[in-house]
Amino acid sequence: MIPFFLESCAGPLFAVYWPPANQSIKHAVLHVPAFAEEMNKSRRMVALQARAMADQGCAVLVLDLFGTGDSSGDFGEANWAIWLQNIADAVAWLKQQGARTATLWGLRLGALLAMDFVNRHEHSIDRLMLWQPVLNGDTSVTQFLRLRVAAAMMNNNMPKETTSDLKRQLLDGIGVEVAGYRLHPELIKPLIALRADRLSLCTVKEIALFEVLANADTPVSMPVTQFFSALQETPVKVSLTKSVGDSFWANQEITEAQDLIELSCEWVKQWQ
């Protein structure tokens, strides 16, 4: 594990690099993190998965996007275009190290960001590994804004607003603070317009969807099922894997989902 700062468009990004166990770089995996507190709650799981894939022989890079974690900038300065460029700079760095293939491993909103990157940068990425992917940007924004609406209901000193009011402010170019995070309009406006089923992902070789469920009998969510079915109509090889475990990105306590790690490693082994 090698921590360092990677140069990117808006300033240095904190990154942790796990070199492959055999020291021969062929396949590289870049982690695209979850959003806000979900990123913080997921750090342990991400580290465990990164280490496991490095042991398998992959070069793995875990990145704090601009304005997050220990990277430069404040969260309120981050926008979608900067985050897309962060991914481009990280992929370029991995290829400079000798990687011949590149996989984006996205978690939650990071999965949607990874898919948008593929949509905009054809033939730059070989595979997508998507953990519990967010598929509708507008729905995701609404859910996050509800945190502010709920906080206002508990505090008489805060104005009573709806998620529609807050979206309107952002679309009008006015930043909004939610749960301690200042949202830049140019981070949220592109996200509101983003839907995974409208993105062109046909230039990757393979897409692996992973859904974490409370128990083996729980069905996969309808949006993921429909997205999977749509992908099956394309030339891309696609898989959908159910994993039983905790919602580690959302739990109050830091938790692990060992089944997800093992299943993800099995998928990696298939194409190494």
| pLDDT tens-place string over residues 55-100 | 999 999 999 999 999 999 999 999 999 999 999 999 999 999 999 9
Do 81 and 150 fall into the same domain?
A: no
Q: Token digits for 79?
A: 């926008």
Give me the number of domains the chain comprises. 2
pLDDT computed for residue 168 by the predictor: 95
* DSSP helix/strand/coil, 82: helix
Give the domain-ending residue among 172, 193, 214. 193
Do 248 and 181 fall into the same domain?
A: no
Do 45 and 112 fall into the same domain?
A: yes
Do 228 and 189 fall into the same domain?
A: no
Q: Token digits for 139?
A: 């729905």
pLDDT tens, residue by residue, 116-126:
999 999 899 99
Handedness of CA 34, 39, 45, 48 (dihedral sign): positive
Cα 184-188-193 angle, rounded to 5 deg: 155
Question: Facing residues of 136 across strands?
Answer: 195
User: Residue 242: what are its φ and ψ, rounded to 5°?
Assistant: -90, 135
Q: Token digits for 35?
A: 């959003």
The C-alpha atoms of residue 231 and residue 209 are separated, in whole angstroms, by: 11
* DSSP helix/strand/coil, 137: helix
pLDDT computed for residue 160 by the predictor: 76
pLDDT computed for residue 178 by the predictor: 95
Do 126 and 210 fall into the same domain?
A: yes
The C-alpha atoms of residue 19 and residue 1 are separated, in whole angstroms, by: 7
CB-count burial class (<10 Å; 0-12, 13-18, 19+) for 98: exposed
Q: Which domain holds residue 22?
A: 2-135+200-271
Mean of all residue pLDDT scores within the chain: 95
The C-alpha atoms of residue 39 and residue 113 are separated, in whole angstroms, by: 14
Q: Is the pLDDT of residue 208 over 80?
A: yes
Do 88 and 183 fall into the same domain?
A: no
Higher pLDDT, 271 or 131: 131
Do 11 and 121 fall into the same domain?
A: yes
Full-model pTM: 0.96
Question: Facing residues of 15 across strands?
Answer: 4, 63
DSSP 227: H
The C-alpha atoms of residue 112 and residue 84 are separated, in whole angstroms, by: 11
Do 80 and 176 fall into the same domain?
A: no
Do 207 and 105 fall into the same domain?
A: yes
Do 100 and 24 fall into the same domain?
A: yes
pLDDT tens, residue by residue, 107-163:
999 999 999 999 999 899 999 999 999 999 999 999 999 999 988 777 777 777 899
Q: What is the mean pLDDT of residues 213-230?
A: 95
Give the domain-ending residue among 166, 193, 220. 193
Give the domain-ending residue among 193, 211, 226. 193
Q: Which residue has 């894997």 as its token pair?
A: 241
What is the domain-level CATH number for residue 259? Answer: 3.40.50.1820
Do 14 and 101 fall into the same domain?
A: yes
Do 206 and 248 fall into the same domain?
A: yes
